[in-house]
């Protein structure tokens, strides 16, 4: 009987990363992009923005390991669904903060304009 050695986590991740890079290259090539591999896990292709300026798109493929929420939530491994929810919540929180700051700035501006208008009438 022969022993079948299991692949290491690193070997499995490397295979998955390689397959993903090849799949992405095929996907973008099928869309007509001049996609090329510029690193072990990086692809790039030239493009043009809305104003006609030339630019490059670079895509890095990685297989995340461990927690990514940044606060040690304790689930032991990367969870894309939780990461997406965390990103959504952070984006909403930042949008609310920006709206609040804008409202305060607008209020201060309106107050200053009102004082200026009142001062102008008093003279």
Q: What is the pLDDT of residue 69?
A: 54
How much is the pTM?
0.67
Q: What is the pLDDT of residue 57?
A: 98
Three state DSSP letters for the chain: CCCCCCCCHHHHHHHHHHHHHHHHHHHHHHCCCCCEEEECCEEEEEEECCCCCEEEEEEECCCCCCCCCCCCCCCCCCCHHHHHHHHHHHHHHHHHHHHHHHHHHHHHHHHHHHHHHHHHHHC
Q: What is the pLDDT of residue 114?
A: 86
The total of structural domains in the chain comes to: 1
> Mean pLDDT by 10-residue block, N- to C-terminus, for the chain (123 residues)?
78 95 98 97 97 98 75 64 93 96 92 83 66
Count of residues making up the chain: 123
Does residue 26 fall inside a structural domain? Answer: yes
Q: What is the pLDDT of residue 67?
A: 62
Give the structural domain span for 33.
9-122
Q: What is the pLDDT of residue 86?
A: 94
Q: What is the pLDDT of residue 77?
A: 77
In angstroms and rounded to an integer, the radius of gyration of the C-alpha atoms of the chain is 26
Does residue 4 fall inside a structural domain? Answer: no
59-93 per-residue burial string, b: 16 or more CB within 10 A, e: under 16: bebeeeeebebeeeeeeeeebeeeeeebeeeeeee
Does residue 102 fall inside a structural domain? Answer: yes
């Amino acid at each position: 009987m022969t022993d079948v050695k299991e692949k290491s986590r690193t070997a499995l991740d490397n295979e998955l990363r390689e397959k993903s890079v090849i799949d992405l290259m095929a996907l973008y090539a099928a869309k007509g992009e001049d996609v090329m591999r510029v690193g072990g896990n990086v692809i790039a292709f030239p493009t043009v923005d809305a104003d006609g300026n030339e630019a490059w798109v670079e895509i890095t493929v990685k297989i995340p390991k461990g927690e990514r929420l940044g606060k040690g939530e304790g689930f032991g491994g990367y969870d894309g669904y939780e990461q997406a929810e965390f990103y959504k919540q952070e984006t909403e929180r930042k949008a609310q903060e920006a709206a609040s700051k804008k409202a305060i700035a607008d209020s201060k501006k309106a107050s200053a304009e009102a004082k200026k208008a009142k001062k102008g009438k008093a003279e």
